[in-house]
Amino acid sequence: MDFSPYVQQITDPSPLKGVLRYWVRMTLSEECQAPTSSFPYASSNKITVNTLGEDENPISFVSAFPNPFGELLHLDFRETSETMKIALIDQCGRQLIEADFRQTSMATIPTEMLPDGVYFLRLSSGLYQQTEKVVKMSRK
């Protein structure tokens, strides 16, 4: 079975120090329906986490606010001049919004057409990628 469409990068926002091993369970489903296939937990390769020094990933200097957001989602690119690719993805994995930003410190994504819910904001630049969970909550 070809799993290449399902390959994702996972970033632990609060990693523990030292040599770690993550356990991952993959579940395949169609259009956010009940799982069609399930696989046993699989161990990752050993991962060494260095929490000393500065983060070399320029994307870690991007913040999304407010969270939860309403009709606009603001991005603050702190100290980056590279091209940033932005994708807003729903819980089913569908990419709903895609944009590129070049040499800017701030950007705004209009989201009035999206229903309330949980989304994933994927930020990428060069070899680096970061995914943030964001929530849309309209004022009623």
* CA-based nearest residue to 85, from 66, 61, 102, 67: 102
Tell me the pLDDT tens digit for each residue of 66-89: 999 999 999 887 756 578 889 999
Domains of the chain, start order: 4-49 (no CATH), 58-136 (2.60.40.3080)
Lowest mean pLDDT among 5-14, 29-38, 48-57: 48-57
Q: What is the pTM of this model?
A: 0.58
Q: For residues 37 and 30, what is the distance between their CA atoms, to the nearest angstrom?
A: 10
Q: What is the DSSP string of 78-89?
A: TT--S-EEEEEE
- Please check the confidence at residue 4 and state whether its pLDDT lies above 60: no
